[in-house]
Amino acid sequence: MLWLSYFLFLFGSRRKSNLAIDRRGFIRISSVAALAIAGAGIGKLFPKEKKAAVAAGPIKIIKVSDFAIGKTHNFTSKSGTPAVLFKTKTGVYAYSAVCTHEGCTVAYNSASKNLQCGCHGAVFDPENGGKALTGPTNKPLPKVKVAVEGAWIVEA
């Protein structure tokens, strides 16, 4: 947009059909280009906003007695991202509910027993390490460390 404005300003007042650029015009355009490139890259010099401090120790998610085998439970992980908890006969496990393609939230489909992304159709297998089955991504969902401590399922 800046380029177009400058170009129209520079050449709009001239009523010539010939757009020959003299030395001064070239230096002006080069200066604007250099400033635009520098402005685009300057954001990398500033540190990103720090995330909120993560609580120390395990965080309780749900009571074991309230969570039946074969069910899922959505929760927010320590990092602040959505996650999905699974309980099987062999134990409990959880994955980030953020799709590895574009960052949309995935949801559990009980009919197909897969996690599906509503944005671009990625499908993940929660029983196989969160592996991507179909869709535009080939990266599995990140695991969230969970454990059973006493009567609670906790994020470790």
Q: Which DSSP helix (H) or strand (E) runs through 114?
A: strand 114-117
pLDDT at 63 (0 to 100): 93
The answer to pTM > 0.85 is no
Across the chain, mean pLDDT equals 84
Model pLDDT for residues 122-143, shown as the tens digit of each residue: 999 988 899 999 989 899 999 9
**CATH number of 59-155: 2.102.10.10, 3.30.300.30, 3.40.50.2300, 3.40.50.720?**
2.102.10.10
- Other C-beta atoms within 10 Å of 43: how many? 8
pLDDT: which is higher, 47 or 105: 105
Q: What percent of the chain has pLDDT over 90?
A: 39
Would you list the domain boundaries of the chain?
2-45, 59-155
| Range from 21-25, 84-88, 150-154 carrying the lowest mean pLDDT | 21-25
